[in-house]
Every structure is written in structure tokens, then in C-alpha cells.
Amino acid sequence: MSKKIALFALCLLFAFTANAQNSKKAQKLYNSEDYPSVIKECKQLLSSDKSTSIQIMLANSYRLTKDYQAAEEVYAQLFQTTSTIPTIEYYNYGSVLKINKNYDKARQIFTTYYQLAPNEPKLQLDALDNIEKFGKDSGQYLLTNININSRLADFGAVPYKTGIVFASENGAKSKKLYPRRNAPYLDLFYAPLSNANSISEFSKIQSVPFENVNSNYHDAALSFDNNGTMYFTTNSHSKKLANGLRVLQIYDSNGKPMPFNSDKYSTGHPSLTIDGSTMYFISDMPGGYGGTDIYVVYKSGNGWGKPINLGYTINTTTDEMFPFIASDGTLYFSSDGLPGLGGLDVFKSTKNGTEWTKPENLHAPINSNNDDFAFTIDAKRNQGYLSSNRSGGKGNDDIYAFVPAKAPQVNCLLKGKITERNTNMPIADATVKLISMNNGMEQSVVTGSDGVYIFDLNPESNYTIYATKKGYFTEVKTLSTIGKNCSSPLEQNLQIDISVSKIPDGPIKIIAGQDDNSGLPLPKINHIYYDFDKADIRPDAQMELDKIVTFMKDNPDMIIELGSHTDSRGKADYNLDLSQRRAASAVAYIVSQGIEQDRISAKGYGESTLVNKCKDGVTCTETEHQQNRRTEFLIRFKK
């Protein structure tokens, strides 16, 4: 876009000459890219001076700070009040209209632009012809705004170790503000993943584990070679230009600059091939096609060769940025010149021999009508990261994770009836809860008068079902769709009827060793035995107490009394104390498993309730004595 910029600068210079006294300060601010201050200055000037140059500076400052609605309003006023408008402003106005989805007006303005610039490829008219196609969701990916985005700019996520390295204004070391945005300069940060099953969930943000990184100015846009060396974009080392700005340069994390860096033009946005032998990057060096072009450079010995422009197939007269070379050789990059939805769109191209194929727009949801950039992808898993300032984000630029979209899922169907165990009559107002053991997702329904419940079941999943109602024991069932063909009419329907039992009045005793406790759905519990003269919970006792814990969790209205007993050996008062300690140990274990303390009471009986002949003075075997060292359970339910 260098010819356009030169034409724009010439027209502005001509306009400024006539209004130099009023706009000198604004021009200086504009030249130094302090756009927030330009906006403030020009708005004040417009109250007394509505010259073309001031309106143009104001419109472009809004556009370059991404306030597109305000930019459209100023452009509209400009185009209504004057006919001597630089050609480049038709392009800028049309671009703003396209971002704002004012497509009919954008077509009108771009048509005039191409009439004034007949040698320019009509790429933006091509974009408007395909706007509906580009905006239709391709169905390939699902996007998630990652959990560590801030209200400031966060972008350029690149996988590293068990997380990502990315650039952010949030938490930057430097206290200086970047004039172009009146925001902090960018620093690089590392964030480890917090969930092995998700690429969008991260734990606490950390400093990057590299020296020679994060200066008083920008550090961003990075890549790693096969040895783990980081290459990144910075303007901390370059000299100030006449307008006070610093160009971008590429350095590695060892503090080494790339040999093609310059103090006269920018280089940045490196992306290395998986073997580290080739680097793609952007630059506005002389001899390019537009604003910033994409270049490639090959390693030569211990150094790098001469950069090569990728040519007009990839590069346009505007900006190409953020190249990413995937492991399969596909080149991804962003462009605001190629036909797209608006702002920067993401494109891909592959190399056919020595030539690159025509760039392909990735469509929605990867692209939007705003800036979409810094696209990285794991070609094997078809997932990665994207940055965008699209609407609905958390801040300025946000990082999005994308994963493959799944094909429409065909579910199995679970249907059943809740009945009373003794009468087989349907139970109304029972709550049936379905929990997926795969992801913890929970569904629940309340039965009607027919006692029927229905759930959709995901294929290849395990589930637990709970049937509950006040005054009834909770029933628990498990089922699985693993190995079932949910698209087959023969396998897609599952039936599980559940019978529930009324809770009787009064206490219920769990009798050790019995399968059926008066027909009630009670757990089969063996006695809790203790070693001689000990109160510790043995491993075999833990297994029995775990059954009680599960039963109490399934029946939250249940309270329990633990009765602890000893054998007859030893003094009676000592045995009473020992049994109380044993009861306390059992209570402590159950509470440690998540049961509330007020749902458990305990009592030590000592040797007062022996279950066999082994009283004082009677010779018994160790096995007979152990039968008396036990804990029994008495169950009650809250009313």
C-alpha cells in the first residue's frame, strides 16, 4: 500500500499548507501516531475549522483506534461537505463501512475508488460479492474465549510446554503508555493449562521463562524453533525515527538480533518451520507490494540468508500480517487487502512446487467483520488459537481457542417408570437425576402422575441414575451406552424401571451379614471389627464404612447411630472407654468422607452387649472374642 500512503501524505501536506496555523499541533501528533490525542485536538479544531485535512485526520484516527462507528460518522460528514477528497480516503471509508456491515454504501464507495484507481485489483468488490459466503459458519470449528483474557489487549497465543506464551497489555512491566492506544506497552507472558481436556482453560499467568525479554517497549508476536529458542517482535532496541517512533525488529530469546533487521523499516511476526530451518516474517522494507508484506528467509550455516518476498499471490497493496507455517506446510496469515469480511481476515495457502496457491478465506467462525489474526494450528489435532477484536469479547483484542466441530450427534433415549415397590403403583413427584460419569453433566426431571421419566443419552457414555422422593429410600442405578449404536432403532431405546421403598416409622437396624433387611433397600454391611485393645479403623473396616458413607450421601435425610462394642477381656470401665474411642474413630472416618457431623451420633457400649457366650471367666477362641469387638448401625430419618 506504499503508493497509496505516499499519495495520502502528499494530499494531506497540500491541505495542511492552507490550515497550517490551526492544525500544526494535530499534524505533529498524527505523525507520531498519538491518535487519542489527535482525536481530542481535532474535535476542538472542528468547532471553528471544518477543513478537509482536520476531518481526514479525525476519521483516520478513529479508524486506526478501531472506533469504526465514530469513523463512519466523520467520513460521512466529510464526503457530504467536500468533493476534493484524496483517492485513498475512498478506500478507507469503504473499509470502515464494510466493517460496520453497511455493505450497500461500501459497494458505492469502493466502486468510485476503483474508478479513480483503475489499475488496482477490485478485491474489495470481490469481497462484497462473497460477503454472505464468507460470513456463513463453515461448521469446521467451535471457538471459546479463553479464561485469562483481560479488558486490555491479549493476543498471539503460541503453544509452549504445557500452556501458551502470549502478548498482553495487562500486567506489563513498563509503566510507560503506548501513545497510539494510550495503553501499556505489550509484554510476553506464559500461562499453563489447568485442564488437560481443554485448550481454553488456564491457571495463573506467569512471567515467560526467558531472559532478554520484556523491555520498556513492545515485546510480542513470537515463534519457537525446534530447540525451544523463542523468536519475538520488539521495538526496544531500534533507534527513534524523526517522528519519535521506533521500528519493530526480530530478536531471539538469547538477545540475538536477526541480520535482516533495520533501523529504517520494520521486521516482525516470525514463524518458524518445525525443523527451524525456515522463517516467515513480515516487513515494510522497500521493494514490497504494500504496507507490510510476508517474506521468507532460509537458514544458511549458523546464520540466515537474504529475505525473499512471497510475491503478489500472497501480498497485496495493503497489509499482510501474522504468518504461521503449520507442520503440514500450510501457510496461514491475516490480510486486510484480500477479499474478506472486514478488517484483517485469516487466509491459508499451500505451496505447489515453487508457487503459492490462491489464498483461501477461512470463513466464519474463524473470521468476523473485525480484525482476526495470530492464527496458529496443530495440524494433527486440527485445533489451535486465534486472536480477534470481534464483538462479544472481554476486552480490546482477545485470544480464542478453536477445536473441531463435532458432527451432529444422534442420541440414545432412556425411558422408565418410578413405582412403589410393594404396590407397583406409579410414583408422582419423584425426582429422577441423571449424571454423566464422562463429564459430570447433570439432568433432572420430576415425574407426573404416570411416574414416567425420559432422558436423552450421549453415545459412548456411562451414567448414574438417582430416584428420590421424600419419605422413600433413594434408589441408584447405572447404565452405559458404550458399544450401543444410538442411530439404530434396535439399540437406541433403553428402558429402566425403578421401584422405590417407603421408609418405615422408627429406627432401622442394619443387621450384619444379612442380604435382605426386612425387604428394605439397605446396604449389606459386615461388622466393623477392631484389633485387640485398639480403636484404629482397619482397612477392612474402611470398606464397610464407605458403604455407609455412600448410603448417607444417597439419602440426605438419614441420620445414624454408631454402636461400638468390645469383648469381655479387661476391666468393664476400661472396655466402656475403649468402645467410646472406637465409636469416635468410626465417626471421624465418616465425617472425613464428607458427611455432616450433626448426622452422626455414637455410643460406646463396652462389654455390655456380647453376641456370644464369651463373658468374663469363659474360655473362648480369638475368633469368638473378635465377634464381640464390633460397630453396629441404627438408622433414623429426619421428619
The domain spanning residue 495 has which CATH number?
A: 2.60.40.1120
620, 612 Cβ separation under 8 angstroms: yes
Residues in Cβ contact with 622 at an 8 Å cutoff, skipping those fewer than 6 apart: none
Boundary (domain end) residue, out of 348, 376, 404: 404
Q: Nearest 5°: phi and psi at 139? A: 75, 5
- C-alpha cell belonging to residue 96: 470502515
Measured CA to CA in angstroms, residue 40 lies from 29, 36, 55, 61, 182 at distances of 11, 6, 12, 10, 12
Q: Decide which of 404, 423, 449 is a domain's last residue.
A: 404
**211 assigned to some structural domain:** yes
Domain end: 448, 473, 500, which one? 500
Q: Is 135 inside a domain boundary?
A: no
335 pLDDT higher than 50: yes
Residue 524, pLDDT score: 82
- What distance lies between CA 51 and its chain's CA centroid? 47
Q: Are residue 496 and residue 528 in the same domain, yes or no?
A: no
Instruction: Answer whether 374's CB lies under 8 Å from 270's CB.
Output: no
> pLDDT tens across 429-439, in order?
999 999 999 98
Q: Does 490 fall in a domain?
A: yes
Asked whether residue 55 falls in the same domain as residue 203, the answer is: no
- Whether 443 and 521 map to the same domain: the answer is no
Looking at the structure, tell me whether residues 226 and 288 fall in a common domain.
yes
Single-letter code of the amino acid located at 544: E
Shared domain check, 152 and 62: no
Q: Are residues 197 and 121 in the same domain?
A: no
Quick one: which of 159, 278, 276, 160 has its CA closest to 226?
276
Residues 65, 149, single domain; the answer is no
Whether 314 and 189 share a structural domain:
yes
Q: Are 512 and 547 in contact (CB under 8 A)?
A: no
Phi-psi region of 156 (alpha: psi -120 to 50; beta: other; left: phi over 0): left
Q: Give the percent of the chain with pLDDT over 90.
A: 62
447: which DSSP letter? -
91: left (phi over 0), alpha (psi -120 to 50) or beta: alpha
d(CA 390, CA 239): 34
Cα gap 432→427, rounded to integer Å: 11
Number of structural domains the chain divides into: 4
Does residue 164 belong to any structural domain of this protein?
Answer: yes
Q: Whole-angstrom Cα distance, residue 487 to residue 490?
A: 9
Residues 603 and 454 placed together within one structural domain of the fold: no
Q: What value does the CA radius of gyration of the chain take, rounded to a whole number of Å? A: 37
Structural domain span for residue 99: 2-129
Which residue's entry shows cell 540466515? 304
pTM value? 0.63
In tens, the pLDDT along 193-250 reads: 998 888 999 998 999 999 889 988 899 999 999 889 999 999 988 888 877 788 999 9
| 191 and 270 inside one domain | yes
pLDDT tens track for 356-415: 999 999 999 999 999 999 999 998 889 999 999 999 999 899 999 999 987 667 789 999
Q: Specify if 469 maps to a domain.
A: yes
Whether residue 352 is found in the same domain as residue 208? yes
